Amino acid sequence: MNLFILFLSVILLKESVSEEIVAHFPTRHGLRHRNREKRQVLLFPNKEQELFKWPNNTVHYYFDEYEFDMSVKEPVLLAMEMISNHTCIKFTTEPSDLVIKMISDDSKNYCYAAIGHQGRGDTTQVFSFNAACYSAGMAAHELIHSLGFIHAHQRSDRDQYLKFRKDLDSLDEEYRMQYDIYKDQEILVPYDYGSIMQYIDTADEYAPVHKNRFMRKAMGSLIIAYYDYLMINKYYECSCGENNGLKCLNDGYPNPANCSQCNCPLGFGGDDCSQRPEPGATLEAKEEWQNTTIALDAGYREEIAGKRSQFDYIYHYLWITAPANKTTEIRVNSFKEEKCSSNCQFGGVEIKTNPDPKLTSPRLCCDDTTTQRSLHTPTIVMAFNSEGLDEYTISYRYK
């Protein structure tokens, strides 16, 4: 197994703490304000709030012909499609008074975006995406900043979930912006370790540290969480209006992008969230351990510089059933991973032990064979991979 501790940490270690680290690695995607005043966009004096939403729920953008690296366009377009498929947000290249100018700032090994609609008399606002961020998840993180959101570790309730090794007050101002709490930001959804807006937990001295050891590898996720979409929908007041007859099960809700479908917690599918998404299998646990192997071949995206991972995941879902009131035990007995990283960035297995399917459950990768226990049925196992062939042998039983 190739232990690969997050590609940007390597770069970061070579850098001194300077302005360059504004968007500080953990996520190689950061945010940036063009001047201090812009921090106001993160505050919510309620009346002004509307200023920082895109009018008509429509984000206007263009890929700058000279400054954008067209070879990294696909992940950005895919991330736009993911967001617009689950919300009422639209992305358009139609001209407007204010547009996002997409560039690829190659002087930085991270990406950044201005937060919200910067209606300050400018005609363009910044969004930088380059090869260091080649992933739909990273593009989605930046786009969600563009829509007006800060990081999950900047929420006013973050100290219940996270701690820091270093006194953040000692950080350089530009750097600290990635971590400052924005007290007045309205909290629209519960905190989720697996939010795409949450930085990774690494050994880095500035990284946010989990307060729940089971959730460490879910941090720094590149999968858009259920609550990430819901947060966008609430903020932009996207809704399907009065019930159109569609009943969503398993905590789904009508999808504002298509009111004949529901937005489902990960692991549920079908128009009403009653089905297991494909591909996958439903398995019945017994009192004896049984094994099943998931092989997920994501292949590679060939690049001049050699093999490169795909910019999105492929998935496989198991629903493991057990009699009511029994404890289901699940573990990944063996991992064959092309690459492993501390945030399961290249691939891994989420075992949905949390009785609340809306929240991210623990994720396993890098030979983590910890046994997971669930008290509900079915227990959902979601395997995901973005690079080469991964194989996970999963053992399960009930007690």
Ligand X SMILES: *[C@@H]1O[C@H](CO)[C@@H](O)[C@H](O)[C@H]1NC(C)=O
Active site residues: 142
Residue at token pair 């064959």: 336
Using CA atoms, how far apart are residues 264 and 190, in angstroms rounded to an integer?
16
Q: Is 24 annotated as a binding residue?
A: no
| Residue 79 or 115 having the CB closest to ligand X | 79
Using CA atoms, how far apart are residues 201 and 100, in angstroms rounded to an integer?
30
| Residue 163 or 373 having the CB closest to ligand X | 373
Smallest distance, ligand X to C-beta of residue 172, A: 37
First-last CA distance in the chain: 33
| DSSP 8-class letter at 361 | -
| Residue 229 or 319 having the CB closest to ligand X | 229
Smallest distance, ligand X to C-beta of residue 161, A: 29
**At a CB cut-off of 8 Å and minimum separation 6, what does 30 contact?**
22, 23, 24, 110, 111, 112, 178
Going edge to edge, which strands form the sheet with 111-113?
Answer: 29-31, 111-113, 124-128, 99-103, 58-63, 90-92
Residues that bind ligand X (CB under 6 A): 55-56, 78, 81-82, 85, 96, 258, 260-261, 271, 289-291, 324-325, 333-334, 393, 395
Strand pairing class (162-164; 124-128): unpaired
Q: Is 153 annotated as a binding residue?
A: no
Smallest distance, ligand X to C-beta of residue 317, A: 16
| Residue 2 or 260 having the CB closest to ligand X | 260
**At a CB cut-off of 8 Å and minimum separation 6, what does 173 contact?**
none
Smallest distance, ligand X to C-beta of residue 313, A: 12
Using CA atoms, how far apart are residues 15 and 353, in angstroms rounded to an integer?
39
Q: Is 151 annotated as a binding residue?
A: yes
**Binding site membership for Zn(2+): which residues?**
141, 145, 151
**Binding site membership: which residues?**
141, 145, 151
